[in-house]
Copies of this chain bind each other. A is one copy, B any other.
Amino acid sequence: MLKQAANDPASRAARIPVMEIFGPTVQGEGMVVGRKTRFVRTAGCDYRCSWCDSAFTWDGTGKDDIRQLTPDDIIRELTALDGSAPDHVTLSGGNPALLPQLGALIAALRAAGAAVALETQGSKWQDWFLEIDELTLSPKPPSSGMTTDWGALERIALRLAQGGRRFSLKVVIFDEIDLAYASEVHRRYPGIPFYLQSGNDRLGEQDRMRLLPYLLERYEWLVDRVVADPGLRDVHVLPQLHTWIWGNKKRRLER
């Protein structure tokens, strides 16, 4: 029996700590905003951002929801969501870049014809970054309470460039200090597609119709600041569409 299990490819593959699998839904932010996609959210993060909207992936409150799944398990669940093979999958966290074993899932998804998108803060490298179709590095601004390791970010950007892999940069903005930080990121990487995103610091607001005018006001503020700044060229300014539609629900992109 042991031998049989060892010969089964699914059980040989290292398992992935999965928090939730959901969709099809629509990507609410960043370089593939609006894309119909399915999500796999992994558990665990090396950061502790003050305004993290996925704190349940690392603060212990979601630990009973974590399942250790193989790539085959995950693809089976992604397919079962609506009975059709996934054509686009977004890997989210937490920080999925903590998981070297994610490479096997990415390879299996791409072999099955799905495009793969992933976002990470740029604190850790994984070789499978080179296999991601739509990779976003999202370094965290001062309002997060985190400190950017510019050397780590630079090493990642360099390896992606050497590997010929296109990626985008995204910074979430809450205030003027964050905006200055974003300008610094853009100054360091002028050739990389750059996305500024208005942040949501009202994570406790349960009434979506009260949240909406506030989110709109924050987006307007950011648009105003960016369009008035001739130093911010070749940039995109986006809201988080999913919070506009679904508010602060935990599984916020699931219906």
Q: Which residue of B lies closest to A29 (CB)?
A: B34
Stretch at the interface among A19-27, A45-53, A149-157, A171-179: A19-27
**Chain A, interface SS category:** mixed
Q: Is the CB of B245 within 8 A of A223?
A: yes
Contact B87 A36 (CB under 8 A): no
Residues on the B chain within 8 Å of A60, using CB: none
Q: What residues of chain B lie closer than 8 Å to A216, measured between beta carbons? A: 212, 244-245
The answer to whether B230 touches A84, judged by C-beta atoms less than 8 angstroms apart, is yes
Chain copies in complex: 2
B36 x A227 contact (CB < 8 A): yes
Known: A212-B216, A213-B209, A223-B245. A232 touches B36 (CB 8 A): yes
Which of B26, B34, B220, B228 lies in contact with A245, CB distance below 8 A? B220
Task: Flag A54-98 by CB within 8 Å of B: 1 or 0 each.
Answer: 000000000000000000000000000011100110000000000
- Distance, CA A83 to CA B219, complexed state (A): 24
Alpha-carbon gap, A82 to B219, bound state (A): 21
A-B contact pairs, 28 of them (CB 8 A): A23-B227, A24-B227, A26-B226, A32-B236, A33-B33, A33-B34, A33-B238, A34-B236, A35-B235, A35-B236, A36-B226, A36-B227, A36-B232, A36-B233, A36-B234, A36-B236, A36-B237, A82-B230, A83-B230, A84-B230, A84-B233, A88-B234, A212-B216, A216-B244, A219-B245, A223-B245, A227-B255, A244-B244
Give me the interface of A with B, judged by CB distance under 8 Å.
Answer: 23-26, 32-36, 82-84, 87-88, 195, 209, 212-213, 216, 219-220, 223-224, 226-228, 230, 232-239, 241, 244-245, 255
In the complex, given contacts A23-B227, A36-B227, A244-B244, what are 7 additional A-B residue pairs having Cβ atoms less than 8 angstroms apart?
A: A24-B227, A25-B227, A33-B236, A36-B236, A36-B237, A82-B230, A227-B255
